[in-house]
Structure 1
Amino acid sequence: MKGTILSVLACATFVSAIADSPVLEIESGRIIGESADDGYTIVYKGIPYAAPPVGALRWKKPQPVEPWDGVRPCNEFGPASLQGDQDKRSFYFREFFSDGDPQRSEDCLYLNIWTPAAGRPSAKLPVMFWIHGGAFSGGFGHEKEFDGEAFARKGVILVTINYRLGLCGFMAHPLLTAENVGNGSGNYGLFDQLAALKWVRRNIREFGGDPDNITVFGQSAGACSVQALASSPLTEGLISKAIIQSGGGLNGPLAPMPRAKLEEINKEMWDLAGITTLEAMRSCPPEQFGRIVSAYVASKGSYQHSSWLTVDGELLLRTLNETALSGQQLDIPYMIGYNQDDMSPEIMKRAALEWSLLLEKQGRAPAYVYAFTRELPPYPNELRMDGDDRTGAFHSAELWYVFGTLGRSKRRFTKADYDLSERMVTYWTNFAKSGDPNGDGVPVWRPCVNEDRYIQVLDVID
């Protein structure tokens, strides 16, 4: 009896929390979300955009969702892709992951939507589609620095996604290539991103979004993913604009690995584990993946990338540089940038500049280039630690500002930091609306051209 009463109370609490959330009819069934903390935005968490890629669907392109009956409550984020535990001694654990590891599963193809116009198809709001970073082996779309409330206040819908990572998402192997007659293997995580993008285009009207105005943006491996999608013939007509944050451009630090090399690495790795057939690979328990990778790395004496982007012959026909130099990337507005203390900041700066100048040379609209230079303020003394206690404009530092989530960090942010965040949210959402970050209330941002190699510095204003 006590359990029944608690269940009823829990249900009543949930109903109260989502009272303002309309039931939406999407292609696979009906869903209901919940009010966000601001009381203005409705958030739909954990919407499946593809079938669970498990069993026979491991290392296959994403398949359609099985429809459901009734109303599906979307009040919990879906599992992240399989990945290792966070290192609690690391700087990035304290900065972004101190809430602990999320639920992780092969069944990870879920997305989240923050919208101020749920159930209003005529609203036709611009949509921003976020791809998280993490070296193609970690991260998830509901990390605490990601949130759509600041975008919603600007009249923009935010979508974040989970996609397959590591061996689940970016492994090429000769047996998989042989199975995929006529094309290569690998890039399953990229195909997930493409499937999610297509899902958004088909369903976003129900959330008040404009399917013809979708800006894809991402950071680090997510930025490389954005450039890869913009380099694919399969995304024509799906993406209206792109923002590349610390991970793309021309001759950038992240690039696809030759497929033959990636296949060779993975064949050696699985052979070392005594698993030599595709049937055995697909039946291998996923909790063994980490041990298989670790054993291979130990045998080589150095780290080997067994999971990375590759030219698969279907989604990517050539390298990102070859695509850009031949003018085959999508002809859309671009924003691109880097952080002052980024990984390889000079390489990233040059990659961003050369990307924009190449677009101009090709007769296309040049990019808007930025440099995030704000040196983040320190933690309170009681939270500081010896060693890796970064306060610079490090790799990923801009994320708190882009998503307007400074309040979730324990750093001693000032009013000037909140003003910078507001300025950046305005730039990002203006770009999503029109392809131009400029507008009322923000300093002018000129495009980067050969005669004026302008880089917008993003820092606090004293």
Structure 2
Amino acid sequence: MKKAILSILACTAFAAVAAETPVLEIESGKIIGVPTDTGCAIVYKGIPYAAPPVGNLRWRKPRPVEPWKGVRKCEKFGPASMQGDQDKRSFYYREFFSDGDPERSEDCLYLNVWTPAAGSSSARLPVMLWIHGGAFSGGFGHEMEFDGEAFARRDVILVTINYRLGMCGFMAHPQLTAENDGNGSGNYGLFDQLAALQWVKKNIRAFGGDPDNITVFGQSAGACSVQALISSPLTAGLISKAIIQSGGGLNGPLAAMPRAELEKVNEELWNLAGMTTLEEMRACPPERFGEVVSAYGKSKGGSVHPFWMTVDGELLTRPLTEAALAGGQLDIPYMIGYNKNDMSPEAMKKAAVNWSLLLEKQGRTPAYVYAFTRELPSYPDELKMEGDDKTGAFHSAELWYVFGTLKRSRRQFTAADCDLSERMVTYWTNFAKSGSPNGDGIPAWKPCVNEDRHIQILDVTD
């Protein structure tokens, strides 16, 4: 525990001067951020990385940002993508969203950068780009469990992004495919992620980052996104390492849908709404999207999820497992894992291990595989409500630990939890630095190979 406290209080040599808050010049203009609460880093909030995808740009690939004049103050997080209100009766609302729904807009293509070395272009610190989960229909890059200060204390830059979700980001439709000269439709949210990656590659040096050392990591739908990106022919030279948390591997439980199937569903959805042309669909106010989807769900006798990533033929040219078997994923270091009480823990375990063994068979570096098994402690009695005392290592439970944000949770974490979080932040940032999670002062982590199918257990210790 003493080690964890010292780490929390300490700033790096870079972070010690972070409070100077320099004006940075990026390709679209000048920006200024704000110091974090401890002054260990500067955070630049709400930087636009692509043009607003509104009007005629709805359901098109992201376009470049229009440059601005003067200095843009990056002191407020940008809007999240259009999505429904959080259900206040749900467990995940109580766990991660109790501070309320964010501002939401079609104009959502913004990212955030936490850096301890702003303005030091020669620092060349490793960069980690986070892709949030939420079933491709919810979530945002500044949820309460996400923060870059713990990374900055270890001389690692964190970037989090918002990308188009649901109707805005993952609608495939025959008319959109025809408009795209038959080259496919859908995956606009994945193209946003690609645009964010390209933005980081071009601009991160101004923040003290190394454009040749970018680790992409994500959880759940964000993990699916990571596997899509490392399987795409469009990401060569952009990603140096990847971490896949609860949502990837070989024949994993989450996969891309066939485009023809997704196009058929969305054609039916819009036809039911009485909007049969792209002009009508693009003129539909985004506030009506929920109504359109709800009506379609009722027509099918229940709730539906018509928006998902698909094999569009451009960003994704084949299913993820097919790409892996053909050696089509990037040849880079990987970490991959799951939680003990995840959505499909046995399927995720099998997918992670088999993927690492496939890498080894292909002559590539096998992956570092983990299982997060810490059963989270309960809430204090005065905060408990019926149905919200869920414990266990549930889907998403590791996020508090990965980002070092236990203090933001209402759970009764212990000194051992703080130590586990410190260990996990160190594993993740070590991996970003060198391609291996190993380092001084933490238990060794072996890669998962055929002769030793090692899975690193992440749990509290006595």
TM-score by length of 2: 0.96
Counterpart amino acid of residue 457 in structure 1? I
Aligned to 2:196: 196
1:185 aligns with 2:185: yes
Aligned to 1:209: 209
Aligned to 1:269: 269
1:309 aligns with 2:309: yes
Q: What secondary structure is seen at the aligned counterpart in 2 of 1:411?
A: coil
Does the 8 Å contact 2:174/2:267 carry over to 1?
Answer: yes
Does the 8 Å contact 1:20/1:34 carry over to 2?
Answer: no
Distance in structure 1 (CA, Å) of the matches to 2:328 and 2:303: 33
Distance in structure 2 (CA, Å) of the matches to 1:250 and 1:383: 40
Q: Percent identity?
A: 80
Deviation at 1:420, TM superposition (A): 0.1
Map 1:64-75; keep pairs closer than 5 Å.
Answer: 64-75=64-75
Give the 4+ runs in structure 1 shifted more than 2 A: 302-305
Deviation at 1:197, TM superposition (A): 0.3
Counterpart amino acid of residue 364 in structure 2? R
Distance in structure 2 (CA, Å) of the matches to 1:329 and 1:302: 37
Does the 8 Å contact 1:125/1:210 carry over to 2?
Answer: yes
CA shift digits 1:86-106 (9 cap, x unpaired): 000000001000000000000
CA shift digits 1:129-156 (9 cap, x unpaired): 0000000000000001000000000010
Counterpart amino acid of residue 422 in structure 1? E
CA shift digits 1:129-187 (9 cap, x unpaired): 00000000000000010000000000100000000000000000000000001410000
Distance in structure 2 (CA, Å) of the matches to 1:391 and 1:264: 40
Aligned to 2:169: 169
Aligned to 1:381: 381
Q: What secondary structure is seen at the aligned counterpart in 1 of 2:234?
A: helix
Distance in structure 2 (CA, Å) of the matches to 1:70 and 1:174: 43
Distance in structure 1 (CA, Å) of the matches to 2:65 and 2:102: 23
1:418 aligns with 2:424: no
1:283 aligns with 2:287: no
1:242 aligns with 2:237: no
Distance in structure 2 (CA, Å) of the matches to 1:388 and 1:284: 37
Counterpart amino acid of residue 244 in structure 1? I
CA shift digits 1:376-418 (9 cap, x unpaired): 0010001112224211000000000000000000100000000
Distance in structure 2 (CA, Å) of the matches to 1:209 and 1:82: 31
Distance in structure 1 (CA, Å) of the matches to 2:220 and 2:424: 18
Map 1:52-63; keep pairs closer than 5 Å.
Answer: 52-63=52-63
Worse-superposed segment, 36-45 or 138-147: 36-45
Distance in structure 2 (CA, Å) of the matches to 1:434 and 1:66: 36
CA shift digits 1:38-74 (9 cap, x unpaired): 2120000000000000000000000000100000000
Map 1:306-345; keep pairs closer than 5 Å.
Answer: 306-345=306-345
Distance in structure 1 (CA, Å) of the matches to 2:262 and 2:204: 36
Aligned to 1:9: none
Distance in structure 1 (CA, Å) of the matches to 2:38 and 2:204: 22
Structure 1 residues 423, 19: closer, same or farther in 2, change over 3 A? closer
Counterpart amino acid of residue 461 in structure 1? T
Distance in structure 2 (CA, Å) of the matches to 1:423 and 1:387: 31
Deviation at 1:122, TM superposition (A): 0.2
Worse-superposed segment, 223-232 or 302-311: 302-311
Distance in structure 1 (CA, Å) of the matches to 2:328 and 2:19: 48
Distance in structure 2 (CA, Å) of the matches to 1:427 and 1:184: 39
Does the 8 Å contact 2:446/2:454 carry over to 1?
Answer: yes
Aligned to 2:127: 127
Structure 1's unaligned 5+ residue stretches are 1-17
Aligned to 1:432: 432
Map 1:325-404; keep pairs closer than 5 Å.
Answer: 325-404=325-404
Q: What secondary structure is seen at the aligned counterpart in 2 of 1:270?
A: helix
Q: What secondary structure is seen at the aligned counterpart in 1 of 2:20?
A: coil
Aligned to 1:24: 24
Distance in structure 1 (CA, Å) of the matches to 2:143 and 2:326: 36
Distance in structure 2 (CA, Å) of the matches to 1:156 and 1:64: 27
Distance in structure 1 (CA, Å) of the matches to 2:350 and 2:385: 34
Deviation at 1:302, TM superposition (A): 2.9
Does the 8 Å contact 2:91/2:387 carry over to 1?
Answer: no
Does the 8 Å contact 1:80/1:102 carry over to 2?
Answer: yes
Distance in structure 2 (CA, Å) of the matches to 1:68 and 1:391: 48
Aligned to 2:87: 87
Q: What secondary structure is seen at the aligned counterpart in 2 of 1:121?
A: coil
Map 1:288-299; keep pairs closer than 5 Å.
Answer: 288-299=288-299
Aligned to 1:49: 49
CA shift digits 1:104-142 (9 cap, x unpaired): 000000000000000000000000000000000000000
Distance in structure 1 (CA, Å) of the matches to 2:387 and 2:213: 45
Distance in structure 1 (CA, Å) of the matches to 2:190 and 2:110: 14
Distance in structure 2 (CA, Å) of the matches to 1:211 and 1:182: 34
Counterpart amino acid of residue 213 in structure 2? N
Structure 2's unaligned 5+ residue stretches are 1-17
Does the 8 Å contact 2:19/2:41 carry over to 1?
Answer: no
Worse-superposed segment, 294-303 or 265-274: 294-303
Deviation at 1:262, TM superposition (A): 0.2
Distance in structure 2 (CA, Å) of the matches to 1:448 and 1:167: 38
Does the 8 Å contact 2:94/2:388 carry over to 1?
Answer: no
Q: What secondary structure is seen at the aligned counterpart in 2 of 1:370?
A: strand
Q: What secondary structure is seen at the aligned counterpart in 2 of 1:235?
A: coil
TM-score by length of 1: 0.96
Aligned to 1:8: none
**Aligned residue-pair number:** 445
Deviation at 1:19, TM superposition (A): 6.3
Distance in structure 2 (CA, Å) of the matches to 1:357 and 1:374: 26
Distance in structure 1 (CA, Å) of the matches to 2:435 and 2:183: 35
Counterpart amino acid of residue 283 in structure 1? A
Worse-superposed segment, 127-136 or 380-389: 380-389
Aligned to 2:142: 142
Structure 1 residues 415, 168: closer, same or farther in 2, change over 3 A? same
Distance in structure 1 (CA, Å) of the matches to 2:97 and 2:263: 32
Counterpart amino acid of residue 132 in structure 2? H
Distance in structure 1 (CA, Å) of the matches to 2:267 and 2:119: 49
